[in-house]
């Protein structure tokens, strides 16, 4: 599994579709999400170029550091999420290491952000993806299969946020106005896992 190529594909998707995230955030938040995300990924590219990481752990450390130094509430949360991937993957990418990393990562975000599934946040995609990876690892699936199942679960989780009433994050401030809007953080998580399957 070439994790650097995975991250580069993810960054390319955000370059191409970041305006969609900004529009979702404009309807359900303060409208700066897409801009902050593109800024973080510009820093990711700079970190990857400067550090030239060789292992999965080093790649995700470069990603984490970029997000931790990005504005908005989501930047630090994604930074901590990616940091757990860095710690969990280390030198080896397998269904088992992905499951462990994703499980620790979503637990960290839930603990720090106070969100749970159903609150209309990035957690609505993170948790199902982690559960799908754990199920794949349990039956000794290969990495490609595990990531495809995680991507499908994250996508379903993101789509489920559309009709939810937000309980956490900026969208919770606008109440019913955010109903009918897919959470941009959850959609970002879905795109992240989808980028792993290309």
What is the average pLDDT across 96-112?
A: 97
Structure tokens at 12: 């390319």
Cα diameter, the chain: 46
pLDDT digits (tens, 9 = 90+) for 130-174: 999 999 999 999 999 999 999 999 999 999 999 876 665 554 445
DSSP class of residue 72? T
Local structure of residue 169 (DSSP, 8 states) = S
pLDDT at 173: 45
User: How high does pLDDT run on average in the chain?
Assistant: 91
Collapse the DSSP code of 164 into the 3-class scheme (helix H, G, I; strand E, B; otherwise coil) and give the result: coil
The more confidently predicted of residues 103 and 178 is 103
pLDDT in tens, 105-117: 999 999 998 999 9
d(CA 119, CA 189): 15
| Phi, psi of 115, rounded to the nearest 5 degrees | -95, 150
Confidence of residue 41 (pLDDT cuts 50, 70, 90): very high
Q: Residue 61's pLDDT is what?
A: 98
**Residue 41 burial (C-beta neighbours within 10 Å; 0-12, 13-18, 19+):** buried
Kindly report the length of the chain: 198
pLDDT of amino acid 163: 85
Q: What is the pLDDT of residue 159?
A: 96
- Is pTM beyond 0.95? Reply is no
Question: Which whole number is the average pLDDT over 86-102?
Answer: 96
Nearest to 132 by CA among 158, 153, 106, 157: 153
In what helix (H) or strand (E) does residue 50 lie, and over which residues does it extend?
helix 33-51
User: Which residue has tokens 């499908």?
Assistant: 152
* Percentage, residues of the chain above pLDDT 90: 77
Q: In this model, does residue 44 exceed pLDDT 90?
A: yes
């Amino acid at each position: 599994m070439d994790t650097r190529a995975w991250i580069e594909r993810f960054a390319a998707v955000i370059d191409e579709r970041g305006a969609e995230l900004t529009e979702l955030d404009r309807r359900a938040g303060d409208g700066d999400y897409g801009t902050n995300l593109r800024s973080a990924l510009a820093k990711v590219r700079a970190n990857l170029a400067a550090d030239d990481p060789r292992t999965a752990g080093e790649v995700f450390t470069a990603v984490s550091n970029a997000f931790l130094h990005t504005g908005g509430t989501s930047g630090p949360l994604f930074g901590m999420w990616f940091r757990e991937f860095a710690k969990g993957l280390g030198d080896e990418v397998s269904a088992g290491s992905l499951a462990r990393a994703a499980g620790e990562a979503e637990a960290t975000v839930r603990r720090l952000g106070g969100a749970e599934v159903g609150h209309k946040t990035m957690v609505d995609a993170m948790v199902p993806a982690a559960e799908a990876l754990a199920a794949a690892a349990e039956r000794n699936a290969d990495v490609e299969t595990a990531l495809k199942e995680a991507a499908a679960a994250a996508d379903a989780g993101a789509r489920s946020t559309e009709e939810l009433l937000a309980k956490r994050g900026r969208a919770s401030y606008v109440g019913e106005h955010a109903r009918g809007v897919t959470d941009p953080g959850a959609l970002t998580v879905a795109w992240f896992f989808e980028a792993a399957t290309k």
